[in-house]
Structure 1
């Protein structure tokens, strides 16, 4: 039997769950178990729990057949817990280093109390850490153990269960369980503290209590579900009625109840506007019904609010808030520079357009800020033209991309009057990067963020600790992301990253990447046509070289001597070189053009056609590897500057050990991999298989269809085509050279 059981309820937290579990598994104290409950989580959290449980037998996973909510998920874990003590840890929170050792030591020193209370800090998305304002209540001076009657001020601590350890036989003796609802911590907290005969405290921060920017739970969202608080305090006072010492606790719990009601009323983003008066009247009824005899209101403005509740004077509360708002408006009048900034960014015509009705049949597409017509937006555009021709498609493009606009679609030039009018009036805005800061998401408007790759390098808020993020305004970044309605993902891995890196209130759609549909749906003839477009003969082995951008370099600086490498590969191999879009040189070296075995494909409009034509992808840290893996063709990683890149930009995993194929860390190693045939050997194939199973979750060839049917045609997600399992997919066939390409290369190398 372990000393400690950690109960971890899990729902929609795949972006935070690994950090939570690692904070427990990495503790220096090891006598614990984790009882994790997958509360029918719709994301990849359940699968992630199973992965951890397979690696560590201290983790026990319970998969519920239906979503039951936080309280009842905890109850399910309590039934399975075996430890002397039970600790509750929400799956987006973490333990501080050394926390479990300090808790276990304090429990022993205090002679196994019923409840141990420890300290916490709140952590925020922007890196801010706020200490517990009432941490002084946890000072350990005085008796080692005590009852709540001896230190009633502990009731002023935050009413959460995650900053306490509970002796399991005490929990069983008192019959403690969590009630259904959304404020379930209130009953458990008050009941356990009042019932405990022996309480101890630990003046040490053990819990890092994450305050998610997007809320993360019902308590931070606008909903009538906040009315659940009345039911929870009904249960609290019913419990109190069963105790002989009830009168001692009526006034303190009455005060906690009133403060809780007022907090919900006063905090923005909790109650719907049309429910505020009803909530106030319900609170006033509880006030009058439960006010203890001789109760003295607090002093100051707080006491005035108590008086308003006592009189059920909602109009008085509204009037008081109006005065506060008026004062705030007056004091902020000098900040009219915001208005001037808005007038600069949003010209008068755009503001006029924003007042006109939305065009329900207008969709605006943009890729890479208008520099291309490509990627996921282009694939969605094509599918939309087939399935919903009544919707007008308009591309926002820069002048040099006008000729890329597909037939049947219109275009507006980025920055023009027509551009801003389209952004103001379109119902659908589809892009793979954010639209400009000045764009306003109107009610009824739908912003679709398609992204443009699975991330190996850190993104969003995850970049904050790396040098490459210097100068990034993360608050402005998140304001742009706040406009998203939908975020498309190709795999569970990306979904988890986006949730943490872009903590905003969008819906993640596990549709797959539309741009990759062609990799699953193309035929052998499509592959031959893609090669003919590039002038590749049947006897040629084509290696597609796609390095990524490096923040510590300017422009495209190849990490390879491409002419030398082409020479080593021989006349039957061609290097297709595609520079990162932001680093393409104006002119390529003359020796590359004259040789004919190095082809610049940087300007090729559809990178997916290059994938079809290539026998093998050579890359470093580009997201191209995730897309190309859908073809189940060889991939070679050239990671010559991994130590520098991973420190400057940050990465989510080590591509040298978890990559999709053979790995080379020098130019000579790369040449050896290519010339020996190791690039297509069994070891490389095994690595590719592992990689595909991890990152090719949803790309089955029907992603664009799912996006169009759900977002544009309003079909329910449950009615969309289910994702075809990886082993049942048939990617586009590989090129068919007339003889073994690896043998050709090996022969040429030996002749040299």
Structure 2
């Protein structure tokens, strides 16, 4: 008996059906049967189904003698299904890679629920893909499985069959089938959710829902859109046959009224001659099934009332008025933005005519996220070594609390910000200032970058469009032409930046300023930080920091962190930090997994931890300076190399042990290899190559050169003489740690960062 029965009805989708079937058969989880139902299609769908059946024994082609519609075609597949779970897929849609494995893992993890609801993305003929806007309702929070009464917001999701997998025995026991006609999903999905004894969710895009340019059934004006009334009659008849479900009547009434309003207002649904008839029937249905006092927002109640009363002209008048109001608001907002932009530009031009202030410096980092990174370390060094220079930091108001008390706070885009940019002598950033910035004669622009480059950057992104995304490489090059200095951590960084971001700047190969705090911290600082984070004494804290994956749309940890700490035992915990591009959280804080995505200082997290686990994050170069263990979780190396590429081959020059999957990672820690002699040798070579100047005085060297004009920087402390604060686990016994006996359990290996 296969795990999944994938049922694909096919009618006039010959151009898309091969891709649909290939997306199923190429799944990494092969335990499936694929039932293709040719709904007497006049094109080549039947022949395509037969070709796939002849090629793969898991495929069965079913040919209906006459066209019966999507619902009966699915029923024909249901009658022949033998799998544990039913998966429905329309003939012009596709499964995402590894979708069935993710479904199987989640089903096992949640104890074989009756229904598992997952997410989808709309894919347009232009190539654009947009994830479901209601994805927040699929968050894997709280206990699972659950019942609909625990998560009633699931009724707000798109009511279709292909965003959920249903246990076959449950569907057969409840006698659930699809009716004929349009909107056949409605009498299926509502009963499925209401009667399910257990439900789970999977916050992952498993289906690509094709938005065809022409030929969509629901996007074609037809009198068959009147079938929506019969479908809701079936839903409420089902409720009447099951009195214990009567509590769902108010929610179903609201969903029905919303659905009818959508069909009526969409210009591609109803022919003009049927609009009056549709509104009349909508009025009858709303009066028939209305639940008095059913709570709903005022605009929704108004729309429902107009449907119920059949006030067609009033409806149209309100729609026109609402549309006019929306246009007026948008036009007014655009005008106000344009006036503000013109005013600020004029203000900036005036300020550029005024004298520079030699005692002013403006800092910013990470697109306004707050005080930190290399500019943060330099700002502190400015205040300490050049107190005559008054510093200001530009950040969004939500991050102003991170700015030190003695530093002026600026909000990007304000008149004060443009004044500071126009008249300050020193401008320091780790990315790019506003594109409207004009470097004045006498200004000094310091570009610190955001770390040692591991992934391809700058000019190298031109050959990698998937990684470049919306990056404006031409703008980067223009920006590089304004730099006076670029701070470099090592020779590798110098050679890379000067090639991929060429300019007339001077490279200051002085070290990474943001690592100064790592070298200066004391054991007391480490203890204080661990206490602040709630790390128990004697616990090995693993900092897990995955990087952004350009080829993935969703943020999801590549590791099942709860399983990792369970297998490793009570002496371990994980601090999970999402990539700044996503904002987090990366994991749910529970037990010995703590999400620290919102923590303001990644350097503090490095000091508090005992080991770093990452895939392709540049943080490994900073962490190596601490001389603490680093473990590389090198999952999907071929995909990452093909899309983004790396300058440093981590398999040839690793900073420590390498694990290819979750079980290997557990073995590395359980066997003690993470802090063994071989790992220490690899880390020492890595540290020597990439941390030659990270001795705690990198920011001082930059300030003495740029501000104080000293051409001979302070000498670098040799690696052998550096004494970074040891981790709290350094004093623990070095004997291998044995894993806690556990079953293999589900493994989550999808949608990593």
Q: How many angstroms apart in 2 are the aligned matches of 1:563 and 1:385?
A: 44
Partner in structure 2 of residue 746 of structure 1:
738
Partner in structure 2 of residue 565 of structure 1:
564
Contact 2:480/2:501, CA 8 A, preserved across alignment? yes
Partner in structure 1 of residue 116 of structure 2:
none
Partner in structure 2 of residue 12 of structure 1:
none
Equivalences for residues 629-708 of structure 1 within 5 A: 629-708=624-703
Partner in structure 2 of residue 380 of structure 1:
378
TM-aligned CA deviation for residue 518 of structure 1: 1.4
Contact 2:557/2:586, CA 8 A, preserved across alignment? no
TM-aligned CA deviation for residue 378 of structure 1: 1.0
Per-residue deviation, residues 24-64 of structure 1 (Å, max 9, x unmatched): xxxxxxxxxxxxxxxxxxxxxxxxxxxxxxxxxxxxxxxxx
Q: How many angstroms apart in 2 are the aligned matches of 1:497 and 1:341?
A: 42
Partner in structure 1 of residue 407 of structure 2:
409
Equivalences for residues 297-312 of structure 1 within 5 A: none
Select which of 450, 461, 465 maps to 2:448.
Answer: 450
Partner in structure 2 of residue 627 of structure 1:
622
Q: In structure 2, do the counterparts of structure 1 residues 574 and 646 end up closer, same or farther at CA, with 3 Å as the change threshold?
A: same
Per-residue deviation, residues 453-496 of structure 1 (Å, max 9, x unmatched): 11110111122212312554322210011111110011111000
Partner in structure 2 of residue 478 of structure 1:
477
Q: How many angstroms apart in 1 are the aligned matches of 2:435 and 2:385?
A: 32
Q: Secondary structure at the match of 1:655?
A: coil
Partner in structure 1 of residue 424 of structure 2:
426
Equivalences for residues 233-272 of structure 1 within 5 A: none
Select which of 702, 723, 727 maps to 1:730.
Answer: 723
Q: In structure 2, do the counterparts of structure 1 residues 742 and 532 end up closer, same or farther at CA, with 3 Å as the change threshold?
A: farther
Q: How many angstroms apart in 2 are the aligned matches of 1:749 and 1:654?
A: 35
Q: How many angstroms apart in 1 are the aligned matches of 2:437 and 2:687?
A: 37
Partner in structure 1 of residue 546 of structure 2:
547
Q: In structure 2, do the counterparts of structure 1 residues 343 and 582 end up closer, same or farther at CA, with 3 Å as the change threshold?
A: closer
Q: In structure 2, do the counterparts of structure 1 residues 372 and 548 end up closer, same or farther at CA, with 3 Å as the change threshold?
A: same
Partner in structure 2 of residue 370 of structure 1:
368
Q: How many angstroms apart in 2 are the aligned matches of 1:357 and 1:605?
A: 36
Q: How many angstroms apart in 2 are the aligned matches of 1:474 and 1:452?
A: 17
Per-residue deviation, residues 541-595 of structure 1 (Å, max 9, x unmatched): 000000011111234211111111121121111100011101123x565xx3332
Per-residue deviation, residues 622-654 of structure 1 (Å, max 9, x unmatched): 000000000111100001111001110121122
Contact 2:631/2:658, CA 8 A, preserved across alignment? yes
TM-aligned CA deviation for residue 514 of structure 1: 1.1
Q: How many angstroms apart in 2 are the aligned matches of 1:736 and 1:667?
A: 22
Partner in structure 2 of residue 721 of structure 1:
714
Partner in structure 1 of residue 523 of structure 2:
524
Q: Secondary structure at the match of 1:594?
A: coil
Partner in structure 2 of residue 466 of structure 1:
464
Q: How many angstroms apart in 1 are the aligned matches of 2:688 and 2:435?
A: 37
Partner in structure 2 of residue 233 of structure 1:
none
Per-residue deviation, residues 586-622 of structure 1 (Å, max 9, x unmatched): x565xx3332x11111111111111111110000000
Contact 2:576/2:586, CA 8 A, preserved across alignment? no
Q: In structure 2, do the counterparts of structure 1 residues 550 and 444 end up closer, same or farther at CA, with 3 Å as the change threshold?
A: same
TM-aligned CA deviation for residue 738 of structure 1: 6.4
Contact 1:448/1:485, CA 8 A, preserved across alignment? yes
Q: How many angstroms apart in 2 are the aligned matches of 1:376 and 1:441?
A: 21
Q: How many angstroms apart in 2 are the aligned matches of 1:512 and 1:393?
A: 22
Equivalences for residues 50-89 of structure 1 within 5 A: none
Partner in structure 1 of residue 135 of structure 2:
none
Partner in structure 2 of residue 612 of structure 1:
607
Contact 2:624/2:655, CA 8 A, preserved across alignment? yes
Q: How many residues align?
A: 406
Equivalences for residues 142-541 of structure 1 within 5 A: 347-467=345-465, 468-541=467-540
Equivalences for residues 14-25 of structure 1 within 5 A: none
Unmatched runs of 5 consecutive residues or more in structure 2: 1-337, 745-753
Q: How many angstroms apart in 2 are the aligned matches of 1:632 and 1:456?
A: 19
TM-aligned CA deviation for residue 727 of structure 1: 2.0
Unmatched runs of 5 consecutive residues or more in structure 1: 1-339
Q: In structure 2, do the counterparts of structure 1 residues 742 and 431 end up closer, same or farther at CA, with 3 Å as the change threshold?
A: farther
Q: How many angstroms apart in 2 are the aligned matches of 1:664 and 1:453?
A: 24
Select which of 589, 593, 597 maps to 2:589.
Answer: 593
Q: In structure 2, do the counterparts of structure 1 residues 346 and 645 end up closer, same or farther at CA, with 3 Å as the change threshold?
A: farther
**Normalising by the residue count of structure 2, what TM-score does the alignment of the two structures yield?**
0.52
Q: In structure 2, do the counterparts of structure 1 residues 359 and 599 end up closer, same or farther at CA, with 3 Å as the change threshold?
A: same
Q: How many angstroms apart in 1 are the aligned matches of 2:342 and 2:459?
A: 28
Q: Secondary structure at the match of 1:582?
A: coil
Contact 1:361/1:392, CA 8 A, preserved across alignment? yes
Q: In structure 2, do the counterparts of structure 1 residues 729 and 659 end up closer, same or farther at CA, with 3 Å as the change threshold?
A: same
Per-residue deviation, residues 83-111 of structure 1 (Å, max 9, x unmatched): xxxxxxxxxxxxxxxxxxxxxxxxxxxxx
Contact 1:375/1:515, CA 8 A, preserved across alignment? yes
Q: How many angstroms apart in 1 are the aligned matches of 2:613 and 2:739?
A: 21
Q: In structure 2, do the counterparts of structure 1 residues 638 and 588 end up closer, same or farther at CA, with 3 Å as the change threshold?
A: closer
Contact 2:567/2:742, CA 8 A, preserved across alignment? no
Q: What root-mean-square deviation, in Å, do the aligned CA atoms of Structure 1 and Structure 2 show?
A: 2.2
TM-aligned CA deviation for residue 671 of structure 1: 1.0
TM-aligned CA deviation for residue 739 of structure 1: 3.6
Partner in structure 2 of residue 321 of structure 1:
none
Q: How many angstroms apart in 2 are the aligned matches of 1:403 and 1:437?
A: 26
Partner in structure 2 of residue 133 of structure 1:
none
Q: How many angstroms apart in 2 are the aligned matches of 1:405 and 1:541?
A: 31
Deviates more, 1:494-503 or 1:602-611: 602-611
Q: How many angstroms apart in 2 are the aligned matches of 1:568 and 1:727?
A: 37
